[in-house]
Chains A and B, each alone.
Chain A
Amino acid sequence: MEFWIELVVSVFLVAGAVFVFIGSLGLAKLPDFYTRLHAPTKATTLGMGGLLAASAILMTYQQGHLSLHELLITLFLLITAPVTAHMLAKTAMHHKLQITEKTVDKELSKRARERNTPT
């Protein structure tokens, strides 16, 4: 295998895995549910993007023709991540989950639960 392809694939793989790891680390260590929600929805999208890009490059090289179907999973995750995040945030507000003390404008979550206007 040519050196530069191996290099690019390796960099994508490690970078993707690091982002996936950071997403899970955030899920484990952040203080309350709403902050935890940020880590997996964002870090994981880019992490999966990196891993799938590495897979696409490698498969294209190995099979000798363009192999882009990994893009499909990336696209799918990109579309579903915000929907999942929104549904989880809705659920959390419905269940009145504890919000960490420092949060600015905590009262807004109550208005949001009722789907009212903020004032």
Chain B
Amino acid sequence: MKSQPRFRLLPMPIHSLLLFVVWLLLNNTVAPGHLVLGAFLALVIPLLTSGMQSPQPSFHKPLVTFRYALMVIADIIVANFEVALLVIGPSKKLNPAFIAVPLDIQYELPITILASTVSLTPGTVSAEISEDKQWLYVHVLHMTNKDELIALIKQRYEKPLMEIFEC
């Protein structure tokens, strides 16, 4: 975890890039004027707001991050088909459950990303997190095997996140 920014004039490089891209998307153009204005905003806004940020672990492995994002998008599509089939099918066959997943990561940002991923992927919604950040409570729409599901969440989503944030 670093509280000291790596570059003084660019305290949050990822946020700057995101602001720039969102500005261009919002205006739906790549006209030179908007490029300049977008770059200006992307430089100035992080400078003004970097003091408000609480220190979070930073992204270390861009390649792993990219692969993780692609995997999550693919999983979202698969999850949607699964949930759609479960919804159309008879509700009596559903086997809903609450499970508690033990967490190995402790920092807030990775846990938030993990919980969001769990909410968007196969039949699970993260409901609550224990006060000591050790357990993630998850509601499952149709549970077949509890241990398998917990192992899946830990293997498939938590492990790459731990690798990305190096914690």
Contact = CB atoms under 8 A, between A and B. Distances in A.
Size class of the contact patch on chain B: 35 or more
Given A34-B139, A41-B119, A86-B119, 6 more contacts: A32-B96, A34-B125, A46-B77, A72-B22, A82-B117, A102-B95
B141 A89 contact: no
B119 A85 contact: yes
A109 B97 CA distance: 10
12 contacts: A37-B139, A38-B83, A38-B87, A38-B125, A41-B125, A42-B76, A45-B80, A86-B115, A90-B128, A102-B96, A105-B98, A108-B99
Interface stretch (B43-51, B52-60, B130-138, B155-163): B130-138
Contacts of B137: 108-109, 111-112, 118
Interface of B: 22, 25-28, 76-77, 79-80, 83-84, 87-88, 91, 94-100, 115-117, 119-120, 123, 125-132, 134-135, 137, 139, 141, 143, 146
A46 B131 contact: no
Contacts of B123: 38
Contacts of A93: 127-128
A48 B80 CA distance: 12
A26 B80 CA distance: 12
Nearest to B141: A38
Interface of A: 19, 22-23, 25-26, 29-32, 34-35, 37-39, 41-43, 45-46, 67-69, 71-72, 78-79, 81-83, 85-86, 89-90, 93, 100, 102-106, 108-109, 111-113, 115-118
Contact of B130 (A42, A103, A116): A116
Contact of A45 (B22, B120, B130): B120
A37 B83 CA distance: 11
A112 B25 contact: no
A100 B93 CA distance: 13
A82 B129 CA distance: 14
A115 B131 contact: yes
Taking chain A's interface residues, is the majority helix, strand, or loop, or is none over half, making it mixed?
helix
B96 A81 contact: no
B87 A43 contact: yes
A113 B128 CA distance: 8
Contacts of B146: 104
User: Which of A25, A68, A104 has most B Cβ within 10 Å?
Assistant: A104
A77 B22 CA distance: 14
B137 to A, nearest CB: 4
A42 B83 contact: yes
Contacts of A81: 119-120
